[in-house]
Structure 1
């Protein structure tokens, strides 16, 4: 038995391709925005996000 690879039946249109890429980029943009926002809140000290500090890491060792 030989392994047969799946092949798309028809060519995907440029519009569909562009739509998928735009969606992927939009998702990436939202994630980048969230990361930047989290970073800013940590730097200002107004964050409710729990993260280890240098002192806590030294005490664990």
Structure 2
């Protein structure tokens, strides 16, 4: 016979939500930082063809 589960406390629920949001914020900050470094040309961790490379291949 099915038995109802115990109710999760509000603090436990809020902890889980805060952890999930913290992980999302970390990823968003990382993506923003990478985008800024690509725009300024200081990126070392992201490989992409530059305009100079496109012109030399033709």
Q: State whether TM-score is above 0.5.
A: yes
Name the residue aligned to 2:35. 39
Task: Give 5+ residue unaligned stretches, structure 1.
Answer: 1-5
Task: Give 5+ residue unaligned stretches, structure 2.
Answer: none
CA distance, structure 2, for counterparts of residue 27 and residue 35 of structure 1? 12
CA distance, structure 2, for counterparts of residue 42 and residue 7 of structure 1? 55
Larger RCO (CA under 8 A, 6+ residues apart)? 2
The normalised TM-score by structure 1 is: 0.70
How many residue pairs match? The answer is 51
Tell me which stretches of 4 or more aligned residues in structure 1 moved more than 2 Å. 51-55
For the aligned residue pairs, the C-alpha RMSD in angstroms reads 2.4
The normalised TM-score by structure 2 is: 0.73
